[in-house]
Amino acid sequence: MKKRILYLYSDTGGGHRSAATALMRAVDHLRKDMFEQEMIDVFAACSGFLNMFAKLYGPVIQYSPQMWGQLYYWLDDEKKLEALEKMSRPFILKELTALIQGKMPDVIVSVHPMINRLTVRAIKQSGKKTPFVIVITDPVTLHRAWIAPGADFVVVGTHEAKELALKYGMPEEKIKIVGMPIDPKFFLEDKDKEKARKMDKLDPKLFTVLLMGGGEGAGKLYDIIEEMEEQKIKAQLIVIAGRNKSLERKIKRNKNKFSFPLRVYGFTDQVHEIMAESDLIITKAGPGTIAEALAMNLPIIITSWLPGQEEGNVEFVVRENIGRVSKDPKKVVEIVKELRETTEFEELKKNIARVSRPQAAVDIAHEIFRCL
């Protein structure tokens, strides 16, 4: 009988689902067809009431990021988190316990901060001794909600994250520095950019800029495109608008007014193929996107970030000198031109080779196997 791995996440943004998918593919890559693997959106499966709040994440970060930042910092407090967990229990604990008893996993892996304390409690209530692993998807600035000392171990991305995990009460022997889980295809497949562009009917010789703003298409993307036209950028542009349908429609509607080649996608699972065609990425400071860009050797220009959870990612990009940061569309395009005209572009790529951990998902999979 195959052993079972259960991944717990919540669809708040695209990053948590992507991390779980990356781990599943890493397990398959190493030991194909040897395990039963399943992803569960915990709030959707176990609590319609709490799921209503989870669904507010997208609109809040899009329309009021400052409110999200205030909530993030307000909840970064042990007593408030204990009170929140206590209030949440009646709406989810019984169902989560029943889920564990029904699925009978051999190991549970969480990729979301708000379910870990509840999961430790549910495992105890289930009467089983199921190993529980937390894979933290914020590489630098992790919220204390991630930490549940009752878990078997946590995986973090950096030494800074380990220090915070220690500060928040995780025993040192339970902390493993491995990296951010990204799909194994980001390091397994061919990275010849000219060849990739040719296959996708793009100009193989033309400098290619990828512009994206996370799942919600944030970060003044259209203003940056207009500024590229204003400054007569010599490049071709690929835009991923995410779930931002109005942005996608606007770009497509006005595509002919731009003098450079322009291709636009909505929400897509072809990010790897698109990154393989690109030379540079302009993006929101999402941790998954940054890790994927580094795996594909793409210097980064950060144009937006969420207060709280993504501020550390911005500091990481600057400190490690793997990219630049600006919220001003005019300055962003000036940075693109500056990078192309100086040796800094190659310097950024050398730094990327130093800090990138493209095989992290495979390494995490090995850690999960040790629980089985």
Per-residue model confidence (pLDDT) at position 20? 96
**Block residue for tokens 């835009």:** 239
State mean pLDDT over 360-367.
Answer: 97
CA–CA separation, 293 and 253 (whole Å): 29
Tens of pLDDT, residue by residue over 38-78, are 999 999 999 988 988 888 887 887 788 889 899 999 999 99
CA–CA separation, 186 and 329 (whole Å): 29
Per-residue model confidence (pLDDT) at position 211? 96
Tens of pLDDT, residue by residue over 243-278, are 888 899 999 999 999 999 999 999 888 899 999 999
User: In 3-state terms, what secondary structure has residue 140?
Assistant: coil
Spelled out in words, what is the top-level CATH class assigned to the domain 190-355?
alpha beta
Q: What is the DSSP letter of 114?
A: G
CATH number of 3-180+358-369: 3.40.50.2000
Strands lying side by side in the sheet with 262-265? 262-265, 236-240, 208-212, 280-284, 300-304, 323-325
Instruction: Report residue 216's pLDDT band, with 50, 70 and 90 as the boundaries.
Output: low
Q: What percent of the chain has pLDDT over 70?
A: 98
Per-residue model confidence (pLDDT) at position 214? 67
Is residue 263 within 8 Å of residue 202, measured between CB atoms?
yes
**Does residue 244 or residue 145 have the better pLDDT?**
145
Taking the alpha carbons at both ends of the chain, their separation in whole angstroms is 13
CA–CA separation, 275 and 56 (whole Å): 30
| Domain span(s) for CATH 3.40.50.2000 in the chain | 3-180+358-369, 190-355
Is residue 359 within 8 Å of residue 187, measured between CB atoms?
yes
321: left (phi over 0), alpha (psi -120 to 50) or beta: left
State mean pLDDT over 267-291.
Answer: 93
Instruction: Report residue 104's pLDDT band, with 50, 70 and 90 as the boundaries.
Output: very high
Mean pLDDT (the chain, rounded): 93
